[in-house]
């Protein structure tokens, strides 16, 4: 049985003290628990330690994720963060392959594949993003486009625990635009992702891998999204930056 996941991607928002404040407010909002929903917040790198302390000191009902990682163990890689460094401050999850990293920073499927392997070798759950730009959607080749991303991103990946590998389908045209894909649009692609995972990893493993939707997901549309058979939660940008709104979303995903 796949557990619904709601993961907040704070992107490049919130200074250290603002991040701590948001984490404290979210802990307060979620004090009655999160039901069957696994909740994760992914602050900017410099906020991770502060949010980790909030989680630890309050036994907060959410996990901690980073927004990026480098695949090497250590060394002369100025500006990068190694998987070990994430583990050491208590981050159990990490977003990889976000379309903003692919688009602005040239991250490739090959990079994403290396990052997934490095994270999994350290017991960190990758939240591996995929999704098509508007012109591909308009050309009607979005399913094929995303399936090819999945195949490249998972090349030679060994998944021992399928609950610890997460995919997020984020159509680029729906990110930060207020244009949510309909629940049927999300299901079409998330269903195709599942079929691809069956081909690659077999039915048993594919049945346990969470496939999230991302792109203007919020407290109003989340229930329709998670009602679809292959949509297992959401990777949330804007709606994760206000504790009451994000908590409402967690509630409505139950
Ligand atoms: P929005 O929810 O702001 O559209 O962002 C989605 C996203 O990119 C999450 O990673």
Asked if the model's pLDDT at residue 1 lies above 90, the reply is no
Residue 69: per-residue pLDDT = 98
Q: Which residue has the higher pLDDT, 178 or 134?
A: 134
Name the band, by pLDDT with cuts 50, 70 and 90, for residue 179.
confident
Q: Which conformational region is residue 168 in: left (phi greater than 0), alpha (psi within -120 to 50 degrees), or beta?
A: beta
pLDDT of residue 3: 98
Average pLDDT rounded to a whole number, residues 220-245: 98
- Average pLDDT over every residue of 130-147: 97
Q: How many CB atoms lie within 10 A of CB 134?
A: 14
Rounded distance, CA 232 to CA 4, Å?
5
Q: How far apart are CA 215 and CA 182, in angstroms?
A: 10
Nearest CA to ligand 1 atom 7: 237
For the entire predicted model, the pTM comes to 0.98
- The range of the structural domain enclosing residue 99 comes to 5-253
Ligand 1: which of 237, 240, 242, 245 to mutate, most ligand atoms within 8 Å of CB? 237
Q: What confidence score (pLDDT) does residue 64 get?
A: 98
Q: What is the DSSP letter of 122?
A: T
pLDDT class of 160 with cuts at 50, 70, 90:
very high
Over residues 49-61, the pLDDT tens digits come to 999 999 999 999 9
Distance 176 CA to ligand 1 centre (A): 6
Q: Tell me if 130 sits within 8 A of 153, measured CB to CB.
A: yes
**In angstroms, rounded to a whole number, what is the distance separating the alpha carbons of residues 160 and 221?**
33
pLDDT for 75: 98
| pLDDT value of position 196 | 98
Q: From CA 6, how far away is CA 225, in angstroms rounded?
A: 12
Note if 219 is an active site residue. no
Q: What is the mean pLDDT of residues 12-28?
A: 98
Count how many domains the chain has: 1
What percent of the chain shows pLDDT beyond 70? 100
Give yes or no for residue 104 having a pLDDT over 90. Answer: yes
* Residue 162 Cβ < 6 Å to ligand 1: no
Q: In the prediction, which pLDDT does 180 show? A: 81
Task: Assess whether the C-beta atom of 217 lies below 6 angstroms from ligand 1.
Answer: yes
For residue 218, pLDDT over 90 is answered with: yes
**Residue bearing the CA closest to ligand 1, atom 2:** 237
Judge if the beta carbon of residue 225 lies within 6 A of ligand 1.
no
Please give the pLDDT value at position 178.
Answer: 85
What is the rounded distance in angstroms from the CA atom of residue 94 to the CA atom of residue 56?
A: 18
Say how far apart CA 77 and CA 194 lie, in whole Å.
35
**CATH at 75:** 3.20.20.70
* b/e per residue 80-110 (b: at least 16 CB within 10 A): ebbbebbeebebbbbbbbbbbbbeeeebebe
The mean pLDDT value for 82-104 works out to 98
Which residue of the set 98, 100, 132, 142 is catalytic?
Answer: 98
Q: Is 64 helix (H, G, I), strand (E, B) or coil?
A: strand
User: Is there a catalytic annotation at residue 142?
Assistant: no
């Amino acid at each position: 049985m796949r557990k619904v996941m709601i993961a907040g991607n704070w992107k490049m928002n919130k200074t250290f003290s603002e991040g701590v404040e948001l984490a404290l407010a979210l802990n307060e909002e979620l004090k009655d628990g999160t039901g069957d929903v696994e909740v994760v917040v992914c602050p900017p790198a410099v906020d991770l330690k502060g949010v980790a302390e909030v989680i630890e000191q309050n036994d907060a009902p959410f996990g901690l994720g980073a927004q990026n990682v480098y695949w090497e163990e250590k060394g002369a890689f100025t500006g990068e963060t190694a998987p070990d460094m994430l583990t050491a401050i208590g981050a159990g999850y990490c977003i990889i392959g976000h379309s903003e990293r692919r688009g602005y920073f040239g991250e490739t499927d090959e990079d994403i594949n290396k990052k997934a392997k490095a994270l999994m070798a350290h017991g960190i759950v990758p939240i591996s993003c995929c999704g098509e730009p508007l012109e591909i959607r308009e050309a009607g080749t979005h399913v094929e486009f995303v399936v090819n991303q999945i195949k490249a991103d998972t090349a030679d990946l060994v998944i021992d625990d399928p609950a610890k590998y997460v995919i997020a389908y984020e159509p680029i045209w729906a990110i930060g635009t207020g244009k949510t894909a309909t629940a049927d649009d999300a299901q079409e692609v998330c269903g195709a992702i599942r079929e691809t995972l069956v081909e690659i990893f077999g039915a048993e493993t594919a049945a346990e891998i969470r496939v999230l939707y991302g792109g203007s997901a919020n407290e109003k549309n989340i229930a329709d999204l998670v009602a679809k058979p292959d949509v297992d939660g959401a990777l949330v940008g804007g709606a994760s930056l206000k504790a009451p709104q994000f908590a409402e979303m967690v509630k409505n995903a139950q």
